[in-house]
Amino acid sequence: MAPLPVAVITGGSRGIGLAVARAFLPTHRIVLVARTPAHLETASASLTASLNRTDAASSDRVRCLVADLSSITAAKHAGDEIVAMGDTEVLVNSAGVATDAPLIVSNMDHIQGVLDTNLTATIMVTRAVAKSMVRRKKGGCIVNISSVAGIKGNSGQSVYSASKAGVIGFTKSLSRELGSRGIRVNAIAPGYVDTDMTSSIPSVKRAEYVAATPLGRFGTPEEIGHAALFLSQATYITGQCLVVDGGLSA
């Protein structure tokens, strides 16, 4: 039997990335990329455990790559390591940070860290994987996790929003570069989703965000995972940003 195709998920150790990995697990071999070995081990164990219940266990169904994507050099190195692990059919760039601060009190480290992790790493990892997809000549699918903040902005998130708007522009231009090779590139712009990233939002603020969301709740990581799986199967969609925000930006 032919081996299952490979889906690489950066930020796959927790939150949205882990839910994306769970959505692809029945049909793909998974590579999780994150910076914290303990988080990767927990994520890998939980995926493998669910696999045991539904499918024949296989030792290489979930692999992990420890990589800190917060610098351009490290992200380039991670991209090379991903390519060395084998042919990638699906790449989901979900690794990201949201250290909120009004711009006038932001320091250089904060600005550089957010831009490098959210935007530069997405570009560098995609660059390495896209090259290998072109060489492989079997097409491919790239999904970049942006944010509704990159579309409509959010106070205290100017740098984060810039990084996420950059991800959308990157996605649209790259889809034009790679379409003729059968490689589709799309983005997802989630609204507020219940993960570690949003767990420290004060309750008053959270209530405001819920009130501003027509569906009246935060999204679940699984709802973003479903959207990523949908984009991987939507063979005539490329260059799009799919907004999954409960109506927040309507």
Ligand X SMILES: NC(=O)c1ccc[n+]([C@@H]2O[C@H](COP(=O)([O-])OP(=O)(O)OC[C@H]3O[C@@H](n4cnc5c(N)ncnc54)[C@H](OP(=O)(O)O)[C@@H]3O)[C@@H](O)[C@H]2O)c1
Query: Applying CB under 6 A, does 128 fall inside the site for ligand X?
Result: no
Closest CA to 149 of 160, 134, 138, 139: 160
Least gap, CB of 138 to ligand X (angstroms): 27
Least gap, CB of 139 to ligand X (angstroms): 25
- CB neighbours of 44 closer than 8 A, spacing ≥ 6? 32, 62, 63, 64
Toward ligand X, which CB reaches closer, 134 or 222?
222
**Catalytic (active site) residue 192:** no
Is residue 17 within 8 A of residue 36, CB to CB? The reply is no
Give start and end residues of each alpha helix (H) in 25-93: 37-54, 72-84
Toward ligand X, which CB reaches closer, 54 or 199?
199
Tokens of 214: 């027509």
CA distances, 181 to each of 34, 37, 113, 155 (Å): 29, 35, 33, 39
Q: Which of 160, 192, 209, 236 is catalytic?
A: 160
Least gap, CB of 133 to ligand X (angstroms): 21
Toward ligand X, which CB reaches closer, 45 or 57?
45
Tokens of 90: 């699906």
Interacting residues with ligand X between 131 and 170 (CB under 6 A): 145, 147
Q: Which of 198, 220, 240, 249 binds ligand X (CB under 6 A)?
A: 198
Q: Which range binds ligand X by CB under 6 A, 62-70, 99-107, 132-140, 228-236?
A: 62-70
Query: Applying CB under 6 A, does 91 fall inside the site for ligand X?
Result: no
Amino acid identity at 75: A
Residue 60: CB atoms within 10 Å = 12
DSSP secondary structure letter of residue 183: E
Query: Applying CB under 6 A, does 94 fall inside the site for ligand X?
Result: yes
Interacting residues with ligand X between 101 and 120 (CB under 6 A): 117-118
Is residue 170 within 8 A of residue 163, CB to CB? The reply is no
Round to whole Å and give the CA distance between 18 and 15: 6
Is residue 183 within 8 A of residue 141, CB to CB? The reply is yes
Least gap, CB of 213 to ligand X (angstroms): 11
Query: Applying CB under 6 A, does 190 fall inside the site for ligand X?
Result: yes
Least gap, CB of 203 to ligand X (angstroms): 16
Judged by DSSP in three states, 9 sits in strand
Residue span 5-44 as binding mask against ligand X, x where in contact by CB under 6 A, dash where not: ------x-xxxxx----------------xxx--x-----
Toward ligand X, which CB reaches closer, 114 or 130?
114
Active site residues: 160
Residues that bind ligand X (CB under 6 A): 11, 13-17, 34-36, 39, 67-70, 94-98, 117-118, 145, 147, 190, 192-193, 195-198
